[in-house]
Amino acid sequence: MRLASCGLALLLTTLGFSQQQAQPPPYTTPPTFPEGQQMPPDQKAPPPQVLSTTQVEQQIQEHFNAEPALANTNVGIKADETSVLLTGTVDSDVQHALALRIAESYAGDRKVVDKIKVRQQT
């Protein structure tokens, strides 16, 4: 009985010490700047670049032309200050979705108006 009590006490003591040693030391972040120097003041991000309607049309058309999946399509682009109008025809829903995705990527804050027709597959 005495031996069991001593063994249990030894086991509990060992567990207590192992839990204390398992904790990692507190992490401190090393200084980014050498001692005595101050951090630079916060800077604002530059304002977003606003593209003209012609630039938006050109970017979208260039990406349409560079996309092999849109090679045999007839998609027109017309942009104004608030929207980008897509017209024409494509052969499949995949081409339609790709054209929309490209236009939305380069339209900026302009709304993309989808007037593209998908040819019926027979």
CATH number for the domain including 65?
Answer: 3.30.1340.30
On whether residue 35 sits in a domain, the answer given is no
- The pTM for the full model equals 0.59
Q: In what order do the strands lie in the sheet with 74-79?
A: 74-79, 83-90, 111-118
Name beta bridge partners: 77.
86
Query: Using CA of residue 107, residue 109, residue 115, residue 118, what is the dihedral sign?
Result: positive
Q: Beta strands 74-79 and 111-118: pairing type? A: unpaired
On whether residue 3 sits in a domain, the answer given is no
User: Total domain count for the chain?
Assistant: 1
Query: Using CA of residue 49, residue 51, residue 57, residue 58, what is the dihedral sign?
Result: negative
On whether residue 47 sits in a domain, the answer given is no
Give tens-digit pLDDT for 5-22. Answer: 877 777 777 776 666 555
Please choose, from the candidates 105, 100, 104, the residue with its C-alpha nearest in 3D space to the C-alpha of residue 115: 100
On whether residue 13 sits in a domain, the answer given is no
On whether residue 77 sits in a domain, the answer given is yes
Could you tell me the residue range of the domain that residue 83 belongs to? 53-118
pLDDT band of residue 79 (cuts 50, 70, 90) is very high
On whether residue 39 sits in a domain, the answer given is no
